Structure 1
Amino acid sequence: MTLDDQLRAAVASGDAAGVAAALAAGADPDALVDRERWGVLLESARAGRADLVTLLLEAGATVGGVGRYGATPLRVAAGAGHAGVVRLLVAAGASAAEPDRRQSVLGHVISEVAFQPARALLDTLDVLLELGANTGPREDPPVVAAVRASAPPAVLRILFDRGADPDQRRADGTPALVLAARLGDHAAVDLLVRAGADVDATDPRGRSALMHAVERNHRAAAAVLLLAGADRSLAAPDGTTALRLAQAWHWQNIQFALGERSVGSHDVPVARTLLRLHPGELRLEADPVQFELLASVVEAVVDGLGDDWELRSGHTGAAALAFAARLRSDQVPVPRASWHTVTASRDEVAVAWSALNESANGDTRLRAAGVSVWDVRDLAEDFFGQIPH
């Protein structure tokens, strides 16, 4: 058995004395394991063995990624919730060794906490923030990332305790509070306003968090905003107000919450930002502009992926394009209302889901000319949130 084999065996068994002996005898602290996919430092970090990590770092192990996949010990330790190992690696310069092309370690941990809540991950998030970690220049800022991931409230509390700005905005200028309201995340809305977020901050269209909560019938989020002093009379540049949106969508309970004493089925023309899905009836409701946006997304994705579209979605390109055409041609005005409706089969709803997912989250980022990534992401998040899980 070579010295490197001895080191690999000692790391695998968690034998600190064996690791120290192999390194003292000349074993390579960057020895690779598991068919050369990663190094012994990463293996020790994955196991949360701060003692082994210390021995390997003192022997000169590379803190960045080594091996075929370039995974880094810091990312692996952070994602596994090993806060003590994270401290050691950051002190050894691991943060600077992280590749720019990948999601930041902080962003990775925020996503992991949202996906698989664990106290150890929360503690690791706190340590990363204490050590000055931030998200990357091409990522959402931390508060926005937490809101978009629907992270547990404890994540936002830690971010604010560590000095994060509750008025952080997405790259297009949309405030975190607006994003939380769109998602109907009333806990996030409450934490944001308690942390000092501007309750009347608006998105690039001049629409406030209250307007978006009202339009989506998120009554709990709207109530939090109203109790926080949101201006219910605030108007966007196009004249849209929260009340007009509630009237336009026939949300009667929210109309009462906004101070109306009598309500009815008003035919109120207003520019909507919501494409509404009725899962039980398989019906889509929206303004023509939302139907056009969805149709253009479907066409761009099908055209961009070619034969891969059917492999990735399970639906033929011809069926998807026929649905896109129907979104334009089969819109029916709703009686005593100002929105339009299009019926959709289960397969067509699945086509919409696949196309939006590919355009908003896929590697290709396929979009029609003139359609921004923010338009697609907002449409996708609204749509996904209405599909029963």
Structure 2
Amino acid sequence: MTEKAGSERAGREGGDADRRLIAAVADGDDAAVEGALAGGADPDVLVTRWRRSVLVAAASAGRADIARRLLDAGASVTRVGGFGASPLRAAVTASAPAVVRLLLERGALTTEPGVLAQAVGRPTHRPAPGGLEVLAHLLAEGAESGPDEEAALVVAVTASAAPAVLRVLLAHGADPDRRRSDGTPVIVLAARRGDHAALDVLVGAGADVEAADAMGRTALMHAVERDHKKAAGVLLLAGADPGAVSPDGTTASRLARGWGLQNIRFRLGEDVVGREVAVIERTTLRLRPTGVRIDGDPAMFGFLADVVAIVLGDLGDAEWATRTGLSAADARAFAVRLRTDAVAAEQGSWFEVGASMTELATVRSALVEMAYGTTRTTPVGTTRVDVEDLLRELELRLAG
């Protein structure tokens, strides 16, 4: 046999072994995997359709036995395939603690600086029995947030993660007084979202109930302004001071009066509640289901108009229409109305702007693009996290 013919035959045999290995991993057949590897299969062979390794495929299936056999045969624990798939990310996505533990033992963590955020979010988006154990394994091995990521506890609170996720993070050393990159304490983030379960976990772990954000407003102030009664109740039971005053003279009671929230004023300890009007600086919006009516301050409406205008300018009319399915001309017209059509409420200190559902969708789409899209400019004096906060609160209002 010539040298060339021998080489071609070896290549065919190797290709056949690789195909047998791919099929064996897909079938979850450990014995067939062993046979294919013994026959010369490449333990790093890629599954062609997704350009992912067979080790990623085994991790996705939660098969620690097959993953171990591939690793023992020399499979790379660090190889990343299509769509950023790596063995460790696949195991985290599959909520497969045995595979995660195996991969960590083989040094996977050093190549995965962003996997912790994935492990924090997975139990919320796709709850599975192994999700908490996966998170605990990563934390025990020293997993940390990436340099451009928020701390894991911030990610969890922002995503309204299950209380069990917060408890795992806190049990592994997370600081209950952790602050987001803009200085907002996690207890304030939870209060703004009305997440009374998260608040209960945080205060139980010793979080400072009087911790304030950049405006000097406490978690109780934010819960009250948004009429989150259960959240306010948790904070009050934990000792939050209803008489605390922010640097601009705002109190929880004044915020309640500014929005005309009588019920929550009783929770704050007031014995006699009327329809007193208080002028406040608002940090949120309120939607009314009559057509749609947006309640807020002229400054907040101007902020929304700026967001729409900036996103339109960044994307251009055609790209805006493609990405949102909405008319750029109509969006521009609504931005003008946000600046000019606000009228004072008859029985409150807030202002109102009437809007159609399409116009409300325009605001939401612009906020989404600025928070998560390609637009990098934000209105003067604001950041992307301010935009993200308002978007999440708007979606809470829409869902409620």
- TM-score, length-scaled by structure 2: 0.92
Question: Identity over aligned residues, as a percent?
Answer: 52
Question: Unaligned 5+ residue runs, structure 1?
Answer: none
Aligned: 1:78 with 2:92: yes
1:125-173 Cα shifts (integer Å, max 9, x gaps): 2222222222222222111111111111111121122222111111001
SS in 2 for 1:69: helix
Aligned to 1:376: 387
1:39 to 53, 62, 66: 53
Aligned to 2:226: 216
Indicate if the aligned counterparts of 2:368 and 2:391 stay in contact, CA closer than 8 A.
Answer: yes
2:320 to 309, 331, 345: 309
Aligned to 1:196: 206
Q: Which amino acid aligns with 1:154?
A: A
Distance in 2 between residues matched to 1:111 and 1:200, nearest whole Å: 28
Q: Which amino acid aligns with 2:378?
A: R
Aligned to 1:298: 308
Structure 1 window deviating more from structure 2 (188-197 vs 160-169): it is: 160-169
Aligned: 1:27 with 2:41: yes
Distance in 2 between residues matched to 1:361 and 1:86, nearest whole Å: 30
Shift in Å, 1:315: 0.7
Shift in Å, 1:366: 5.0
Structure 1 window deviating more from structure 2 (107-116 vs 20-29): it is: 20-29
Aligned to 1:244: 254
Q: Which amino acid aligns with 2:158?
A: R
Distance in 2 between residues matched to 1:10 and 1:204, nearest whole Å: 57
Shift in Å, 1:365: 4.4
Q: Which amino acid aligns with 2:237?
A: L
Per the alignment, do residues 36 and 75 of structure 1 end up closer, same or farther by CA in structure 2, a change over 3 Å counting? closer
Shift in Å, 1:363: 4.3
Shift in Å, 1:26: 2.6
Indicate if the aligned counterparts of 2:18 and 2:42 stay in contact, CA closer than 8 A.
Answer: yes
SS in 1 for 2:393: helix
Shift in Å, 1:13: 1.8
Indicate if the aligned counterparts of 2:291 and 2:357 stay in contact, CA closer than 8 A.
Answer: no
2:351 to 312, 334, 340: 340
Indicate if the aligned counterparts of 1:4 and 1:28 stay in contact, CA closer than 8 A.
Answer: yes
Structure 1 window deviating more from structure 2 (357-366 vs 244-253): it is: 357-366
Aligned: 1:143 with 2:153: yes
1:89-114 Cα shifts (integer Å, max 9, x gaps): 1111111222x5xxx21211222211
Distance in 2 between residues matched to 1:242 and 1:373, nearest whole Å: 26
Distance in 1 between residues matched to 2:106 and 2:359, nearest whole Å: 52
For this pair of structures, how many residues does the alignment match? Answer: 385
Per the alignment, do residues 355 and 36 of structure 1 end up closer, same or farther by CA in structure 2, a change over 3 Å counting? closer
Question: Unaligned 5+ residue runs, structure 2?
Answer: 1-14
Indicate if the aligned counterparts of 1:63 and 1:97 stay in contact, CA closer than 8 A.
Answer: no
Shift in Å, 1:388: 2.7
Per the alignment, do residues 67 and 159 of structure 1 end up closer, same or farther by CA in structure 2, a change over 3 Å counting? closer
Distance in 1 between residues matched to 2:80 and 2:390, nearest whole Å: 40
Distance in 2 between residues matched to 1:355 and 1:366, nearest whole Å: 12
1:220-274 Cα shifts (integer Å, max 9, x gaps): 1101101100011111111111111011111111111112121122221111111
SS in 2 for 1:341: strand
SS in 1 for 2:32: helix
1:230 to 240, 262, 267: 240
Aligned to 1:17: 31
Aligned to 1:2: 16
Aligned to 1:362: 373
Shift in Å, 1:56: 1.2
Q: Which amino acid aligns with 1:143?
A: L
Structure 1 window deviating more from structure 2 (367-376 vs 307-316): it is: 367-376
Q: Which amino acid aligns with 2:342?
A: Q
Q: Which amino acid aligns with 1:29?
A: P
Distance in 1 between residues matched to 2:325 and 2:173, nearest whole Å: 46
Aligned: 1:353 with 2:349: no
| Max Rg structure | 2
Distance in 2 between residues matched to 1:67 and 1:154, nearest whole Å: 32
Distance in 1 between residues matched to 2:83 and 2:119, nearest whole Å: 20
Indicate if the aligned counterparts of 1:30 and 1:66 stay in contact, CA closer than 8 A.
Answer: no
SS in 2 for 1:254: helix
Per the alignment, do residues 69 and 226 of structure 1 end up closer, same or farther by CA in structure 2, a change over 3 Å counting? closer
Shift in Å, 1:36: 5.6
Aligned: 1:385 with 2:396: yes
Q: Which amino acid aligns with 2:181?
A: A
Per the alignment, do residues 230 and 66 of structure 1 end up closer, same or farther by CA in structure 2, a change over 3 Å counting? closer
Indicate if the aligned counterparts of 1:274 and 1:379 stay in contact, CA closer than 8 A.
Answer: yes
1:161 to 142, 147, 171: 171
1:152 to 162, 165, 179: 162
- TM-score, length-scaled by structure 1: 0.95
Per the alignment, do residues 364 and 92 of structure 1 end up closer, same or farther by CA in structure 2, a change over 3 Å counting? farther
1:170 to 180, 189, 196: 180
Q: Which amino acid aligns with 2:71?
A: L
Indicate if the aligned counterparts of 1:358 and 1:365 stay in contact, CA closer than 8 A.
Answer: no
Q: Which amino acid aligns with 1:285?
A: D
Distance in 1 between residues matched to 2:176 and 2:307, nearest whole Å: 32
Per the alignment, do residues 4 and 81 of structure 1 end up closer, same or farther by CA in structure 2, a change over 3 Å counting? same
Distance in 1 between residues matched to 2:396 and 2:370, nearest whole Å: 17
Per the alignment, do residues 303 and 119 of structure 1 end up closer, same or farther by CA in structure 2, a change over 3 Å counting? same
2:335 to 302, 317, 324: 324
